[in-house]
Amino acid sequence: MDQEYGLLDTDEAPPGDEWEEIDYTDTEADRIARERDREFDEFRKRIKDADQFKVEASVFDDATYGALYKLVQDGHLDAFGGPISTGKEANVYTALAGDREARRGSEQPSGDGEEPRGHEVAVKIYRINASDFTEMGEYLEGDPRFERIGNDKKAIVMAWVRKEFANLRRALEAGVRVPEPVAVERNVLVMEYLGTAEGRAKRLAEVHVENPGTAYEVVREYMTRLYDAGIVHGDLSEYNIVVQESQLYIIDVGQAVTVHHPNSEEFLERDCYNVANFFARQGVDTSEDDLLAYIHEHAAPLEE
């Protein structure tokens, strides 16, 4: 009798490339900005003049307005809210979800013929012309697939944003709490907003951690699940973990790499160092080595 020793098929998709093949040369957002019809011009002026955008928006190029315009037209965004964060490479704002997302978000259509009210979403806008991309360098360098992109800033940012979107998806699929990705357009990422009427969800670094032992176990489990799915966050610390309604969420996954990245182990070690040290300061009996050993023991990232 024939005996075949095959491996079972798994449902899990292998980790994708760090850098997918896309055409970076021209986008719908670039075309909108170039053609500048009257409606786009009015949109751009309205956003530029809005109080909450005054300072930061001066650094956006026209195609960024093109991307925002496209997201509004596609029904992902409606009105813009205020800034949540101004970082080195990106700014994060709140916005009201457009019709499409509002409908998706409301389980029950409101009874008396009202339009569904838009919930908030978070909009992360990368500045193409941010002067400093050195922080991105270590994640880009050493990845042979990145050589295709070279040092074209727009291409780097577009690839980065798409990778962030894809990483959010992968993390969710792996059972890790992250903001749900909504849409991506050129240098703009729309995702679930974590926060309440009082404001954005607080970072772990900003709160009094009630049960550090439990919180540590949750973060350790998330790191393990990510690694098991073939992903290393690469910038994990108490600044990229937020607390929302007693739940921990991992954020800022743009730089996350697959286990194929030549520096992925180094990034994992650094994540372990940051996380273990934070929780050790909160009285948890752990160390970088403990955390790393735990993850390696409990995760088996796919090799293929």
| Token couple for 274 | 């940051």
What letter represents residue 254's amino acid? G
Of residues 249-268, which lie at the interface with Mg ion (CB under 5 A)?
252
Measured over the CA atoms of residue 90, residue 177, residue 186 and residue 45, the dihedral's sign is negative
Residue 201 interacts with, from ligand ADP, Mg ion, none (CB under 5-8 Å by kind):
ligand ADP
Note whether 251 binds ligand ADP by CB under 6 A: yes
Among 82, 85, 137, 148, binds ligand ADP (CB under 6 A): 85
- If we measure between CA atoms, which residue out of 243, 178, 234 comes closest to residue 206? 243
91: three-class secondary structure by DSSP: strand
CB 295 within 8 A of CB 220: yes
Among 17, 42, 55, 87, binds ligand ADP (CB under 6 A): 87
Instruction: Verify whether residue 252 is a known catalytic residue.
Output: yes
Note whether 234 binds ligand ADP by CB under 6 A: no
Choosing from 235, 271, 289, 290, the catalytic residue is 235
Q: Which is nearer to ligand ADP, 201 or 223 (CB)?
A: 201
Round to whole Å and give the CA distance between 72 and 79.
9
Residue 200 interacts with, from ligand ADP, Mg ion, none (CB under 5-8 Å by kind):
ligand ADP
Instruction: Verify whether residue 235 is a known catalytic residue.
Output: yes
Task: Draw the binding track, 209-248, toward Mg ion (x: CB under 5 A; -: no contact).
Answer: -------------------------------x--------
Round to whole Å and give the CA distance between 149 and 91.
24
CB 101 within 8 A of CB 180: no
Nearest distance from C-beta of residue 52 to Mg ion, angstroms: 21
Note whether 161 binds ligand ADP by CB under 6 A: no
Say how many residues touch ligand ADP, by CB under 6 A: 19
Q: Which is nearer to ligand ADP, 243 or 295 (CB)?
A: 243
Note whether 89 binds Mg ion by CB under 5 A: no
Round to whole Å and give the CA distance between 97 and 118.
5
Cβ neighbour number for residue 7 with a 10 Å cutoff:
5
Query: What is each CA distance from 123 to 24, 68, 154, 176, in whole angstroms?
Result: 21, 9, 18, 21
| Token couple for 218 | 């949750």
Round to whole Å and give the CA distance between 258 and 234.
10
Nearest distance from C-beta of residue 128 to Mg ion, angstroms: 19
Choosing from 51, 62, 112, 252, the catalytic residue is 252
Nearest distance from C-beta of residue 98 to ligand ADP, angstroms: 17
Residue 125: in which H helix or E strand, if any? strand 120-126
Part in contact with ligand ADP (CB under 6 A); list of ranges 44-52, 99-107, 149-157, 187-195? 187-195
User: At which residue do the structure tokens 């040369």 appear?
Assistant: 25
| Token couple for 265 | 């182990």
Q: Which is nearer to ligand ADP, 60 or 294 (CB)?
A: 60
Give the catalytic positions in this structure.
Answer: 235, 252
- Catalog residues that contact Mg ion under the rule CB under 5 A: 240, 252
Chain residues binding ligand ADP by CB under 6 A are 84-85, 87, 90, 92, 122, 124, 179, 191-195, 200-201, 203, 240, 251-252
